[in-house]
Amino acid sequence: MTGDGGCPRCRTDSVLAVLRLPATWANQAGGAREVVLCARCDAGDPVVAYFAAHGTVRPEGVDELARLLLDWIDRARPLGSPP
């Protein structure tokens, strides 16, 4: 067991996506190099809501999910980084 893939906040395997940050962001964020999207911790996030509603990604839903993920990446920048 390496612990990879689990949520660092709630310690479950409810992680839906992991954003790996460039080193410059990681330094500003105090060393954190990954931002995790967790079905439990981020229950109010539109991406989590998408999976809750659809269960999986269907071909016709890829465009919508891609748009939601891009929005999430915009929001997921560490605090203190430039807009």
The answer to the question of residue 16 lying near Zn ion (CB under 5 A) is: no
State the Cα–Cα distance between residues 45 and 71, nearest whole angstrom: 10
Whose CA is closest to 33, among 10, 12, 8? 8
The answer to the question of residue 38 lying near Zn ion (CB under 5 A) is: yes
The footprint of Zn ion on residues 46-75 (CB under 5 A) is none
Which residue in the set 40, 54, 67, 75 belongs to the binding site for Zn ion (CB under 5 A)? 40
State the Cα–Cα distance between residues 15 and 17, nearest whole angstrom: 6
Q: How far is CA 58 from the centre of its chain?
A: 19
Closest CB 59 distance from Zn ion, rounded Å:
28
Kindly list the residues in this chain that would bind Zn ion in the complex (CB under 5 A).
7, 9-10, 38, 40-41
